[in-house]
Amino acid sequence: MEATIVKKEYGNKQVYFVGGGIASLAGAAYLVRDCDFPGQNIHIIEEMKILGGSNDGAGDVEEGYVIRGGRMLNDEVYENLWELLLTIPSIDHPGMSVREEIIAFDTANPTHSNARLVNRKGEVEDVLSMGFDMADRMALGKLIITPEDKMGKARINDWFAPHFFETNFWYMWATTFAFQPWHSAVEFKRYMIRFMHEFPRIQTLEGVTRTPYNQYDSIILPMHKYLEPFGIDFTLKCTVTDLEFKDGDGITVTKMNVLREGIEDVIDVNEEDIVIVTNGSMTEGSSLGSMTSAPTLNGKGSSWKLWENIAAKKPGLGNPSSFDDHVDGSKWESFTVTFQDSAFFDLMEKFSRNRAGTGALVTFKDSSWFMSIVLAFQPHFRNQPEHVKVFWGYGLYPDQVGDFVKKRMCDCTGEEIMEELIGHLHFEEHKDNIMATANCIPCMMPYITSQFMPRLNSDRPKVVPEGSTNLAFVGQFCEIPDDVVFTEEYSVRAARIAVYTLLGINRSVEPINQYQFDVRTLFTSFVTSFR
């Protein structure tokens, strides 16, 4: 009876999510779970033909599998993600939640890398020492205690001397989180604080939590299946091109301009309705290559153009230019390799002394492309046959010429990327066996670290901007104080804040764990800096 009364209060209120990534799916879950909001009044509008956004995972044996990026999770700091996944039922294990499923899987397959860094000779390096000198330690300490508003658009290499970028720490931290020297010092500072508990174990990546399959199969699909029975409207192959606002100083959306499979349309938005926008996208403009072709470098797509359109109309809606106009600084290239046998995996497991799914990243620290690979637990896809093996890798410097293939990574075919990898591993005598069934699909992502670009605090809009009555932002390009972008948690936290705020729900969001104030963490980190 009480639920009926609550629903009646909503009347004909509609909620529109622009974008079908994890933020929108989480927002919809909070609406039905915590707000008793009618599912048929929730609309998720997605440009692609599939949900999930950057949390992707697709393909088959014949064409090859693709994951544009891998998602490493963390038990200690993904506070709202874990709380949400505790209420999402597992697809594979009746009676278990997705969170419980992940815990069980991770417990059975704990991460402990035995080959985190590999040198130019193909030797596994001893990385117990961080490699700092006193200047590095002092600069780190200064970074952590300096207020963000005093840092502006400072870059990481504005804070640290060249020596810092040749330390074991930098090689490991940079590749774990995909930092570049020219990225934002503020974001780097946030990571150092948020993941301080990971600093002492960065050489083994023991803090990494994995999902049983890729992020689409393990997280997005269960969330979608959870939402479906509520009658939520999933509108695919539909692009939101612009928002129109009510005249005046406030921020009230009145219309949404859309393209439905190429046909222009308008969605009228009433003042009591809510619009929640994923502004910007890390994976927009992604392009795939093949064994015989290199990927292309694409420009801005719809999510960036939408944000640019609406930011020009009202103050307080951010400055997308800080993020989407610097492709040379935000791009890198990943690759997914599908094998029809275990030859490469057998060699890698012997080389790394890690069973697939337990070793995390293997980084070739002297690679001109700054290349890393990771062998996930197999199968990594729901439809992957037992004999098929799939791994993922990436290069942070795609414009650099390779060490074995004398071409820029961005100009290389999948076959050439495999040749470069085989060279770094010194597996030349096994090349024919490895290449016999290899299908390497490169992926160029022009905006993959755009969220790390130097920015002012005002460049990201607040989740609910000042003066907004019905508009919120979610995803990686809104502002949540103290939290870190490039994480699942950031998107989920933003969605929870947006829903609770705009619906006036008196429920708390899971707080950020403050490990920087934990004496044991501080002491262990201090000791680690002198290893």
Residue 253 pairs in a beta bridge with: 245
CB 56 within 8 Å of CB 70? no
Cis peptide before 94 (omega within 30 of 0): no
Strands 274-278 and 15-18, bridge-based pairing = parallel
Torsions phi, psi of 53, nearest 5?
55, -125
DSSP string, 193-215: HHTGGGGGGTTTTTTEE--SS-H
| Six token digits for residue 307 | 């944000």
Measured CA distances, 101 to 81, 93, 97, 383 (Å): 14, 7, 6, 19
The strand order across the sheet containing 42-45 reads: 233-235, 42-45, 15-18, 274-278, 471-474
User: For 117, which DSSP code?
Assistant: E
Give the 3-state secondary structure of residue 351: helix
Residue labelled with tokens 């992926």: 443
Q: Are strands 263-268 and 253-260 parallel, antiparallel or unpaired?
A: antiparallel
The four Cα atoms 503, 505, 511, 512 give a dihedral, to 10 degrees, of 0
Give me the sheet containing 389-395, strands edge to edge.
117-118, 361-364, 371-374, 389-395, 332-339, 439-445, 287-288
Query: 243 is written with which tokens?
Result: 């928002």
Tokens of 165: 């970028």
Q: Which two tokens stand for residue 523?
A: 């002491």
In sign, the C-alpha dihedral spanning 27, 29, 34, 38 is positive
Catalytic residue among 16, 65, 78, 191: 191
Residue 226 among the catalytic residues: no
Contacts of range 142-149, beta carbons closer than 8 Å, 24 or more positions apart: 143/185, 143/188, 143/189, 143/192, 144/189, 144/192, 144/193, 144/516, 146/189, 148/186, 148/189, 148/457, 149/457
In this structure, what token pair is assigned to residue 170?
Answer: 């930098």
* Token pair 């079908």 in the structure block, residue: 20
Q: What tokens were used for 440? A: 């390497």
Catalytic residue positions, numbered: 191
